[in-house]
Chain A
């Protein structure tokens, strides 16, 4: 009777053990890495909008405060996407013949809202409220980045839970005076001692506390 297995079977047996281990291990490592890439987090992705709206122009050239359009940010859960009427406050007077604003005028006359594409989408099981964050001294730029430099809005924060928790566990370094909330350029004092002093001052005066209970965000 000839031998059941050739000597090469030994190699195949060992190789398949290594192969299974590396495919499993590599797969897990790959997944671990994938969810940490900007691609998986949806960062630096310029989202095309139905209107070529440019934040750079409105913020830098016109010096319009964020809260003029995102009127609800200090009062409600949502910052508020401006209505067409809000655009027309100015654009009924200026650029009112521009073909680029045609979709805005169409929306105004038909009454059909402009269908903006959402950039920051939190899952439904997460409770989030803009007003409490703004009210406790978290600036717009802290989460949304330098909107004044964005042609199209891109996400700069992963919105992953670890990102939320990093600040909820230690809010102090992200606080700023409330009069600087919408500033795109505000920086904490360069001197670390001064920065710490300001942070602890703000913690106290705005009554900021670390909030890490599950039910803070999952209600």
Chain B
């Protein structure tokens, strides 16, 4: 073999799996990626029915809570926060993968974000919606929450307590939701225009046409679009770090063992990205199977996500390690009691060990390429991580609260059926929103995939020396 040909062969052997399999044309990509919108899918219908029924649980749970009060929940002194805040933190954390993929990976020009960013952004928005429900409802009288939460020139002559992380939370979450929604929608506009132009039914064309905002794909439009997209990416980037840092302040600013920890912000952010990527995998693996998106969401995408999970899992594990180290090093009896007695051997020890198994041990398998490319294992592992991250919030919240400083104030916590209905209901409602998204909106960023496709073919032509 001639040296250049040999080098090319070696490069080929080391090259990762392609981001887009085959050499699809734009028309093929259109047909393939818009298929879920134009041709009904039986599996999808069954799943929607299931998710809609599950969402009924949410309606029941919320109705009972609002009609009878939050006494219907299991939390009571000393465990004043339980499922409401566990689920809030869990859901809000899940959203972070979406923002990381869409904003940070965009700024770092990571091409593998292209096929999955739309999924991840939709997941972010729907997850934040579930999350926002919990703090609102846990106020007991959510119709008053507006004046409890937002600073506005009121007739009470007071402002919310700006020194409280709870008000920072309000700003963090509402900013996060607004920016994520705008970012998602802006990215959708060219694809909505494609839908408007490919749809055959007039109602569909008008509906998509309204949301496409008159997009014509002119270079002026594209120029504005790119500027807007980059600006929103720039605004979103700090949000990836700030939102969950602020959520962690809800705990870290207090003085409870297991909460009062300086490592909380970075450890929460890593945990959020970790849990979020797990959720992306949990959703994307079945979705690409049902809608046959295998050639744009390749095993390379899944593998990259597994790598991100491995890294973030190790940051989280470091967080666990440091918490325990500080408990020992501080020689504070309450800290030691929490970390060396209550957590590992207390009433909820099983949940603590589940957390360690799912968040620390399971992702360690991702050191092996075999584990990273086994779709079945990735799916199982992603669900385990989802459980592990939920368990982590349970450990932080309930285990720190149920053993108060005074043994006379000790008490146990158990969720009621309403807690379970609301939790299960949010999972179902999230799934319902996600399924509707898959059916009515291009779930893969069509314009971006086409662009990447052209770029890749262009590069290939260069490499082969065929390009003039």
Q: Does B49 contact A (CB under 8 A)?
A: no
A interface, size bucket: 10 to 19
How far is B215's CA from A10's CA once the two chains are assembled, in angstroms?
12
Contact B157 A161 (CB under 8 A): yes
**A16–B217 alpha-carbon span in the complex (Å):** 23
Contacting A161 at CB < 8 Å: which of B152, B158, B213, B214? B158
B196 at the interface (CB under 8 A from A): yes
Give A22-54 as 1s and 0s: 1 = Cβ < 8 Å from B's Cβ atoms.
000000000010011000000000000000000
**Can you name the residue of chain A whose Cβ is closest to the Cβ of B205?**
A4
Is the C-beta of B153 less than 8 angstroms from some C-beta in chain A? yes
- B residues near A4, Cβ cutoff 8 Å: 196, 205-206, 209
How far does the alpha carbon of A13 sit from the alpha carbon of B158 in the complex, in Å? 39
* Interface: A117 (CB within 8 A): no
Chain A binding surface, main DSSP class: helix
Report the nearest B residue to A36, measured CB to CB.
Answer: B155
* Docked-complex contact B157 and A166, CB < 8 angstroms: yes
Which of the residues B155, B157, B210 comes within 8 Å of A35, measured between beta carbons?
B155
CB within 8 Å for A32 and B213 given contacts A4-B205, A165-B158: no
List, in ascending order, chain A residues with CB within 8 A of B155's CB. 35-36, 158, 160-162
Taken together as a complex, chains A and B put the C-alpha atoms of A9 and B214 apart, in Å, by: 9
B156 at the interface (CB under 8 A from A): yes
Q: How far is the CA of A36 from the CA of B157 in the complex (A)?
A: 12
- How distant is the Cα of A166 from the Cα of B156 in the complex, in angstroms? 10
**B153 and A32 contacting across the interface, CB-CB below 8 Å:** yes
Chain B residues, Cβ within 8 Å of A13 = 210, 213-214
Q: Is the CB of A5 within 8 A of B209?
A: yes
Contacts of A161 in B (CB 8 A): 155-158
Scan B147-163; emit 1 where CB is below 8 A from any A CB, else 0: 00000111111100000
Residues of A contacting B154 in the complex (Cβ-Cβ under 8 angstroms): 162
- Kindly report which residue of chain A lies nearest to residue B202, judged by CB atoms: A4
- Name the B residues within 8 Å of A158 (CB-CB): 155
Instruction: Map CB proximity to B onto A150-187 as digits: 1 under 8 Å, 0 otherwise.
Output: 00000000101111111000000000000000000000
Counting residue pairs across A and B whose Cβ atoms lie within 8 Å, the total is 35
The minimal Cβ–Cβ distance linking A106 to chain B, given in whole angstroms, is: 41
* Cα–Cα, bound, A5→B318 (Å): 58
Asked if residues A165 and B157 are in contact (CB atoms below 8 Å), the reply is: yes
Is A162 a contact partner of B156 (Cβ separation < 8 A)? yes
CA A211 – CA B449 in complex, angstroms? Answer: 64
A residues near B156, Cβ cutoff 8 Å: 160-162, 165
Complex contacts, A32 vs chain B, CB 8 Å? 152-153
**Once bound together, how far apart are the Cα atoms of A186 and B154, in whole Å?**
32
- Which of B152, B153, B210 has the most CB atoms of chain A within a 10 A radius of its CB? B210
* Min CB gap B148→A, angstroms: 13
Report the separation of the CA atoms of residues A158 and B214 in the bound assembly, to the nearest whole angstrom.
Answer: 51
A13 to B211, CA, bound (A): 10
Q: Residue among B155, B210, B213 with the most chain A CB within 10 A?
A: B155
Within 8 A of A (CB), among B155-201: 155-158, 196
Report chain B residues within 8 Å CB of A163: 157
Q: Flag if A10 contacts B214 (CB, 8 Å).
A: yes
- Which of A5, A10, A162 contacts B157, CB < 8 Å? A162
Bound complex: CA of A35 vs CA of B158, how far in Å? 15
The chain B residue with its CB closest to the CB of A212 is B158
In the complex, chain B residues whose CB is within 8 Å of the CB of A166: 157
How far, in whole Å, are A129 and B204 apart by their CA atoms in the complex?
66
CA distance A36 to B156 in the complex (A): 11
Q: Are B214 and A5 in contact (CB under 8 A)?
A: yes
**In the complex, chain A residues whose CB is within 8 Å of the CB of B214:** 5, 9-10, 13
Find chain A residues with CB under 8 A from B210 CB.
13
* Residue interface mask B114-154, A partner, CB < 8 A = 1: 00000000000000000000000000000000000000111
Closest residue on chain B to residue A158 by CB atoms: B155
Bound Cα distance from A107 to B206, whole angstroms: 73
B105 to chain A: closest CB distance in Å?
Answer: 31
Instruction: Please name the residue on chain A nearest to B199 by beta carbon.
Output: A4
Residues of chain A within 8 A of B206, CB atoms compared? 4-5
For the complex, what is the distance from the CA of A164 to the CA of B158, rounded to whole Å?
A: 11
Contacts of A162 in B (CB 8 A): 154-158
Chain A residue nearest to B196 (CB atoms) is A4
The docked-state distance in angstroms from the alpha carbon of A5 to that of B208 is: 12
Chain B residues, Cβ within 8 Å of A160: 155-157
Which residues from A are CB-within-8-Å of B196?
A: 4
Which 5 A/B pairs are nearest by Cβ-Cβ distance?
A162-B157, A161-B156, A165-B157, A160-B155, A4-B209
Mark A residues whose CB is within 8 Å of B.
Answer: 4-5, 9-10, 13, 32, 35-36, 158, 160-166
- Identify 29 residue pairs between A and B in the complex whose beta-carbon atoms are under 8 Å apart, listed by A's number: A4-B196, A4-B205, A4-B209, A5-B206, A5-B214, A10-B214, A13-B210, A13-B213, A13-B214, A32-B152, A32-B153, A35-B155, A158-B155, A160-B155, A160-B156, A161-B155, A161-B156, A161-B157, A161-B158, A162-B154, A162-B155, A162-B156, A162-B158, A163-B157, A164-B157, A165-B156, A165-B157, A165-B158, A166-B157
Known interface pairs A4-B209, A164-B157; 7 further A-B residue pairs with C-beta atoms within 8 A, sorted by A's residue number = A4-B196, A4-B206, A5-B209, A5-B214, A32-B153, A161-B155, A165-B157
